[in-house]
Chain A
């Protein structure tokens, strides 16, 4: 005998596994056991097969692979003894699946066992078949199972019934064979058989319309009668569930009746009485009783119309809602959700109770109830419901607020009867849970405000008050900041007072205070700050008395760490200081935002007519009347929306006035028609969207990445060219770019980079085989030239010689050049000629490398580079990307 096969007992193995303190220990034990079992398997050890299979099942449950035991199951099934067969079938169900070829081998054993004289072995085989039966097995074994439906022992009959379900699900064609035996099962007296029989009929109806017709015509009345007997049957202890007789049987019957009654008036009619009886007579105290009622309600809702019964059913659900058991409330809400489609009016009657469930202690119930309320809202009840929900918002859990806020906002948006009410409710939500409000919601609010000229004053004053008390709610602050920027003077002068308002006294400096606080509050994010800066700029022209103060606040950010804010600060400061003449026009109140366009955009489709919509035209000081800035919706788009705006939109530059996103926005098109004198300012403003040039001051940054930078600044041009190429050429022409320098206060123009590069590109020869050398990289002081050559007969490979020149007055030491290429390119770097680079261009370092482009002719070369060196002992790192390789490499 194999010395390993003795092994341990199952019990000992479980103990050993349980004793493991770590997962690694457990793995070790399992590995050892598996090794033993494998050895036993290969020895074909029969004595311990039983025990090994049991162990394997345990190991399988823990999640370890046990495929080597599959054949053992089959062998075990084929043996004669009951225990072996039992463990074999158990293993078959757990370790194998219907997809495996091995399963083919078991069909014969199953067939024999289904005909076995021992009914328990028949039971085992049925059980296994019911769990793993495949379509082929179903075809092979259906006659046996069909025969077993009439077996003398009820235990076998019920198993055969459920096994038939599996068979007809696998092969629906076989359904017709089972119809009459199934109908016979409905006359059973044994509860267990009756349950399975009803279940079989239900599943037959699902897979075969023929069966459905049969049962509808021949069995509905019988079923109703049997159910009536069950309902009125005397107490029977073994099928009792907490005082209710056989709730499972009730439920199965109701389910079958539902299928029969659906879409058939006669059958529905036939079952009305019994449904009413179940609905009224069942004890609703216990879970079992409620399970029956619940099923009964679902059946009533599904069968053909009987309004009396439906009201009864919905009232049962209403009662469920006030049940103490969470589970009951939960299912009731689920069912009411379905019931809304059938009879919304009846559900409306329970609105108050449902509203109570929104305040439930169980989060899952709250969520359902809220969804249900959401479905119940209509024009007539929106006001009281919103009030209730907003009141609850104050006391609700933090984690529920997000859901609740989203739902309230969407209710208010959808059903608001008038604008003032809408604005009021939104302000309430924003002050209560502004941090949970999604961006598009407050964007929409701004659109609505902008469209309600008679409410501007009212709104800005209400926002001013709200911000005093709820200044911690980010989106409230944003809306307030925007409104104060736009309608600041209405706040100060109490313009457009409504009757309901109490007058307030706000000075100009109070208004600026709000903005200053929003700027300085440490929780404010970049969007809020950027919006505040714009609002400040606007106020600077509207409140002349505060102009100086505004300027000071703006200037504070000149040295800010956030580029976006720094740039705005510098630019706005320059507008205030040097461009008084155009300032009032620049900071004019925004034209009314087009609601239709905005909602269209929210829905995901930009209306094609953006550029033709009418609105007040924006007059620029240079006399260029801009066409109405139609896609002003974009003004609100503070989120990153770098999708190219339609190229026809001339007013797009305003987008960038607010455009916070740092992604380059290819909206330069606006400049193309305007004369250069007026354009430069706009162009400057435009560049808010593009990342500010890093090499503003070439001497200071130790780590600079000019090449990369020029790369990104090229991007908008490239994108533009994909929109309409003439525009891009205009914008990049030096004439348009140069005046920017003036406005940016010494910022070097990012747009001019590509031109320089193009000019410096050295076209050595136009001969097809000789490639022009390029200036691959240039920073403040470092220049890298690439020259190319190709070895004969190998078009994929290019030999590149890089020449580095140092223009600065310091020697670069420890000079290292590194390069990275895309996957389809291979790169081989030779050592550099030297690792120190003399100063002032007195000499150079050269380095050769070889690239092999495996997709030569399909994809162009591209390369990322990194250059590290030391200046006066300080490390400097420069990096960039080279895309401008000559074509054909």
Chain B
């Protein structure tokens, strides 16, 4: 089972954090911090796997990939194949890349809602749901279309613009 998916930047700011077994908010921050502590102290030419027993409890490991300013971290237990998790990160990143056309940290920051939607189409309750980025994008696009189509809500502020309110 996948325990958590964390995307954070190289300064340790979380950009996406999803925990598949419940963690209280303070604990989440603590976990993110300790994961960052481990990652930031790792050398360049080392393997992408880290034993995470000390952070997430027994029988956990994490795999990470470093893209530009972002770390993509998957935490999982022994029921998952480490190398496959590495590929799954690849699938996730490829999907983001296709959705945002050359994804960068800013896309991730401002579209964290969409990030969640994408992630939910790939990993479901800690299990791998879909591994084809084409399928994932198809599903995400359907959802986006549906959001746009329903006009029960407008995302533009009705009365005062954001500027003046501040």
Contacts and interface: CB of A to CB of B under 8 A. Distances in A.
A248 B49 contact: no
Contacts of B135: 192, 238
Contacts of B24: 97
Given A99-B22, A363-B46, A327 B83 contact: yes
Contacts of B88: 248
Interface in A68-124: 80-84, 86-87, 90, 94, 97-99, 120
B40 interface: no
B65 to A, nearest CB: 10
A120 B87 contact: no
B104 interface: no
A83 B165 CA distance: 25
B69 interface: no
Interface in B23-55: 24-26, 28-29, 43, 45-50
Contact of A192 (B48, B132, B143, B160): B132
Interface string B131-166: 110110001001100110010110101111011011
Contact of B127 (A9, A165, A363): A165
Contact of B81 (A196, A295, A362, A363): A295
B128 interface: yes
A327 B146 contact: no
A328 interface: yes
B112 A238 contact: no
Interface residues of A, number: 80
B129 A158 contact: yes
Contacts of B48: 326-327
Contacts of A16: 166
Given A12-B166, A331-B49, A248 B87 contact: yes
Given A196-B129, A287-B86, A130 B124 contact: yes
Nearest to A206: B79
B22 A290 contact: no
A61 B14 contact: yes
B125 A163 contact: yes
Nearest to B24: A97
A330 B28 contact: no
Interface in A220-247: 238-239, 241, 246-247
Given A162-B129, A246-B131, A14 B47 contact: no
B43 to A, nearest CB: 7
A181 B135 CA distance: 24
A326 B47 contact: yes
A60 B116 CA distance: 14
A84 B153 contact: yes
Interface residues of B, number: 63
A854 interface: no
A132 B120 CA distance: 13
Contacts of A287: 83, 86-87
B47 A195 contact: no
B126 to A, nearest CB: 8
A81 B152 contact: yes
B46 A364 contact: yes
A51 B124 contact: no
Interface in B101-132: 109-110, 112-113, 116-117, 120, 124-125, 127-132
B162 A12 contact: yes
Given A16-B166, A63-B26, A66-B25, A294 B83 contact: yes
A298 to B, nearest CB: 8
Contacts of A155: 139
A66 B28 CA distance: 13
Contacts of B158: 6, 47
A294 B166 contact: no
A195 B20 contact: no
B17 interface: yes
A50 interface: yes
Contacts of A199: 127-128
Contact of B47 (A1, A87, A364): A364
A64 B132 CA distance: 35
Contact of B166 (A8, A50, A63, A329): A8
A191 interface: yes
A21 interface: no
A62 B135 CA distance: 31
B113 A130 contact: no
Contact of B49 (A18, A195, A330, A363): A330
Nearest to A8: B162
A623 to B, nearest CB: 61
B152 A80 contact: yes
Nearest to B49: A330
Q: Identify the interface centre among A60, A329, A364: most chain B CB within 10 Å of its CB.
A: A364
Contacts of A288: 83, 87
A300 B133 CA distance: 31
B128 A195 contact: yes
B93 interface: no
Contacts of A329: 47
Contacts of B18: 94
B110 A14 contact: yes
B77 interface: no
Contacts of A152: none
Given A288-B87, A327-B83, A90 B116 contact: yes
Given A329-B47, A362-B46, A365-B47, A238 B132 contact: yes
Interface in A296-343: 326-331, 334
Contacts of A11: 110, 162
B68 interface: no
B99 interface: no
A618 B117 CA distance: 83
Contacts of A165: 125, 127
B113 A54 contact: yes
Contacts of A1: 159
B4 interface: no
B49 A61 contact: no
A327 B143 CA distance: 36
Contacts of B143: 86, 120
Nearest to A17: B109
Contacts of A214: none
Interface in A352-402: 361-365
A58 interface: yes
Nearest to B151: A81
B28 A131 contact: no
A291 interface: yes
Contacts of A428: none
A1 B45 CA distance: 58
Nearest to A6: B160
Contacts of B128: 195-196, 199, 248
A538 interface: no
Contacts of B155: 9, 50-51
B47 A82 contact: no
A111 B43 CA distance: 50
B165 A7 contact: yes
B14 A62 contact: yes
Contacts of A82: 146-147, 150
B46 A291 contact: no
A165 B128 CA distance: 12
Contact of B45 (A99, A290, A362): A362
Most chain A CB neighbours (cut-off 10 Å) among B91, B132, B143:
B132
Given A84-B153, A248-B84, A195 B131 contact: yes
A65 interface: yes
Nearest to A51: B155
Nearest to B112: A58
Contact of B16 (A61, A86, A255, A362): A61
Given A248-B128, A287-B86, 9 more contacts: A11-B162, A130-B127, A192-B129, A288-B87, A291-B84, A326-B48, A330-B82, A331-B49, A364-B50
5 contacts: A11-B110, A47-B158, A99-B22, A192-B135, A288-B87
The 10 tightest CB contacts between A and B, nearest first, are A291-B83, A130-B125, A81-B152, A63-B29, A326-B47, A97-B22, A330-B47, A8-B162, A12-B162, A238-B132
